[in-house]
């Protein structure tokens, strides 16, 4: 198992370099001179020249790229043009809320999706099955912000049940109410695909010999479904979560912007709107790395869940 994980880690190196290269290019290809951007609009020529020298902008591009990687490893992502704080500091404040939001969304979506998908499979062909499947197709087709707008308007504003702007603090310090609406918004995108795939996977497993054996042994139906069918059906579902990571991340950017959630996505959007290039670059890099990380975790989980992969 260790070897598989190591192999998977090695495979992600080119993708990681690709991410770094694109982020490096971000500052290279902007229409303006990076030194001028960093120095700000009112900077003197000497300041710009000093920054140019400091950043090594007079050196060949490949050397600059290697330098850039070195700086990233040391955590030096430059300074924000707007707040004048170090970008890494800004990211440090925002990464926690983003992780919290994504975990919250998954904690909401995965059990719901599994339960609905299993129910649909067990009640195959019934009206329950049809309703769940219709709901799941509708969920896949719904823009994240539509769900957010409805929740903000009804649950947040009209019924005043939950807060809908900002984050009052970490979950363990009374921040849970402010997390619920953003997490439900983001998670609802995932319920549909998970339910759909779980249904297919459970249906496939329910016809398998070992399920028949389990039933023949006289096990209760709940045990057969939860322990035998659902557990095996989890494998494709875990893969799906990896595949959906892109949507989860994209959805997080939209959700954070809607709910004024102080995460990396909102930081990135704000930085782009205000032409704060170093911050935008850092935030995009962190988001891309988070995406690589999710896929890595999913692959490792996959090896853990499916012993056949370990042997193969």
Partner 1 sequence: MTVDILPAPSSVAAETEPSLPGRASVLRRLARDPVALTAAVLLTAIALAAVFAPWVAPYDPYYTDLSKAMQAPSEAHWFGTDNTGRDILSRVIFGTRNTLMLGLVGVIIGGFLGGLLGILAAFYRRLDGWIMRLVDIMLAFPAILIGLAVAAISGAGLTAVIIALVVATVPDVARVARGAAVGVMGQEFMEAGRAVGVSDATLIWRYLTLNCISTIFVFLTLRFGQIILIGSALGFLGMGAQPPTAELGMMAAQGRDFLFMAPHIATIPSLAIFVIVLAANLLGDVLRDVLDPRLQQ
Write out the two tokens for 309.
Answer: 């992969």
Whether the CB-CB separation of 265 and 287 falls below 8 Å is answered with yes
Give start and end residues of each alpha helix (H) in 207-224. Answer: 209-216, 221-223
Name the one range near partner 1 by CB under 8 A: 33-41, 101-109, 176-184, 239-247.
Answer: 239-247
Q: How far apart are CA 14 and CA 290, in angstroms?
A: 15
Whether the CB-CB separation of 66 and 73 falls below 8 Å is answered with no
Query: Looking at 6, 9, 22, 53, which residue binds partner 1 (CB under 8 A)?
Result: 22
Residue 165 gets which letter from DSSP? S
DSSP string, 72-94: HHTT---B-TTT-SBHHHHHHHH
Q: How far apart are CA 132 and CA 121, in angstroms?
A: 10
Q: Any contact of residue 18 with partner 1 (CB under 8 A)? A: yes
In the complex with partner 1, the residue whose CB is nearer, 4 or 257, is 257
Query: Looking at 144, 184, 197, 230, which residue binds partner 1 (CB under 8 A)?
Result: 144
x/- binding map, residues 259-298, to partner 1, per CB under 8 A? ---------xx-xxx---x--xx--x--xx--xx------
Whether the CB-CB separation of 27 and 34 falls below 8 Å is answered with yes
Query: Looking at 4, 5, 30, 176, which residue binds partner 1 (CB under 8 A)?
Result: 30
In the complex with partner 1, the residue whose CB is nearer, 261 or 277, is 277
Query: Looking at 5, 163, 257, 262, which residue binds partner 1 (CB under 8 A)?
Result: 257
Chain residues in the site for partner 1 (CB under 8 A): 11, 14-16, 18-19, 22-23, 26, 29-31, 137-138, 140-146, 149-150, 152-153, 157, 245-247, 249-251, 253-254, 257-258, 268-269, 271-273, 277, 280-281, 284, 287-288, 291-292
């Amino acid at each position: 198992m260790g070897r598989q994980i190591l192999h998977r880690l090695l495979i992600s190196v080119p993708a990681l370099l690709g991410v770094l290269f694109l982020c490096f290019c971000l500052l290279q290809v902007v229409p303006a001179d990076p030194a001028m951007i960093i120095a700000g609009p009112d900077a003197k020529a000497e300041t710009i020249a000093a920054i140019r020298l400091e950043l090594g902008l007079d050196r060949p591009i490949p050397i600059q790229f290697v330098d850039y990687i070195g700086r990233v490893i040391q955590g030096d992502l430059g300074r924000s043009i707007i707040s004048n704080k170090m970008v890494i500091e800004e990211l440090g404040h925002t990464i926690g809320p983003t992780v919290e939001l994504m975990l919250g969304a998954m904690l909401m979506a995965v059990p719901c999706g599994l339960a609905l998908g299993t129910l649909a499979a067990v009640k195959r062909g019934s009206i329950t099955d049809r309703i769940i499947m219709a709901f799941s197709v509708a969920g896949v087709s719904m823009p994240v912000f539509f769900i957010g707008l409805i929740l903000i308007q009804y649950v947040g504003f009209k019924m005043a049940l939950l807060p809908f702007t900002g984050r009052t603090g970490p979950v363990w310090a009374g921040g849970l109410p402010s997390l619920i609406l953003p997490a439900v918004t983001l998670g609802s995108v995932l319920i549909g695909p998970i339910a759909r795939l779980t249904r297919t996977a459970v249906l496939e497993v329910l016809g398998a010999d070992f399920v028949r054996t389990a039933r023949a042994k006289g096990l209760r139906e709940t045990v057969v479904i939860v322990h035998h069918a659902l557990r095996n059906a989890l494998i494709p579902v875990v893969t799906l979560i990896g595949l959906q990571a892109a949507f989860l991340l994209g959805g997080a950017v939209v959700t954070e912007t809607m709910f004024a959630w102080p995460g990396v996505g909102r930081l990135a959007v704000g930085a782009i709107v205000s032409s704060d290039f170093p911050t935008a670059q850092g935030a995009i890099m962190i988001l891309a790395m988070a995406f690589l990380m999710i896929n890595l975790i999913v692959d490792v989980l996959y090896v853990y869940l499916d012993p056949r992969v370990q042997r193969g």
